[in-house]
Amino acid sequence: MGMNKWMGRLLAIITTVVVIAGCTKEFEADLPDTDPGTPGNSKKLSKISYDDGSYMSIQYNAEGKPIKITDLQKSSSGDDTNIYTLTYNGDKLLEMKATDGTKYRYTYTGANVTKVEVLSPNDVVIAYYTYVYQDGRLVRTDAYGSIAGPISNTPTMRFDLAYYSNGNIKSMTTWYQDYTSGVLEKSDVYEIETYDTKRNTSLLFENNPYIPLLLKVPNNPLTEKHYDKAGQQYATLTHTYTYDNQGNPLTRKTVIKETGMADEISTTTFEY
């Protein structure tokens, strides 16, 4: 999944969903990098390391915008490394290019990204995503793709987001197309019940690499509950953190309790 090893499955999904990098307060593009609760806190996240040896490193330009993201994923078959380079026009991200030549191009309406096209190395559009906003927040992502043949003219995936009043994500509902009927069917509901009061520095990058800067949340998730399409809960996630003296997360321990499964525990480390 690249760039998706993070806050358990929800954020892994949000990640996939909002598919597409560093990206929520509306997530407003103008969400300040400085936490108003800790004046002068302008540290930039430089590396996220996972306990299986995978990591993501970030480089910035003089304006503080990410311009290079190196994503190394460990697996039993060996290392898989992707390097993403980002190109801007002023404050707007225009294009992100992956190691294999795949490109992601962005269309804006005002300050909001409203469409992202995924292009093959020979510049053929192979998928695209559209985004809907309400009150300045991203509330829906529709994904258009193809298993074979032309890109579908109806969404193959949909992700609906709801928020707390402070801009933190409250829930996400996922929908996937039934390829027989062509109808979008509800799949899962992911709820984040509680957050800490510290500055979130990682969602911007732990999101799927297609849209950096689209999705920021003010704080760090503490508890999640996951439900199937019938409304039955099947998993609970808890996250605990350590912080530096400015409130930036240094480590995150995640415990996943899933019905019928042994508990899963993972630790993520953040460097600045």
The topology under which CATH files domain 8-28+44-271 is Porin (2.40.160)
Task: Report the C-alpha gap between 190 and 13 in whole angstroms.
Answer: 9
The amino acid that residue 176 corresponds to is: Y
Decide if 217 contacts 196 (C-beta within 8 A): no
Decide if 272 contacts 44 (C-beta within 8 A): yes
* pLDDT recorded at residue 21: 27
* pLDDT recorded at residue 1: 37
* pLDDT recorded at residue 36: 35
* pLDDT recorded at residue 216: 72
* pLDDT recorded at residue 215: 62
Handedness of CA 73, 155, 218, 88 (dihedral sign): positive
* pLDDT recorded at residue 146: 76
- Divide the 272 residues of the chain into consecutive groups of 10 and give the mean pLDDT of each group: 40 41 26 38 88 94 91 91 93 92 93 92 93 91 84 91 94 92 93 96 74 72 96 97 96 97 97 96
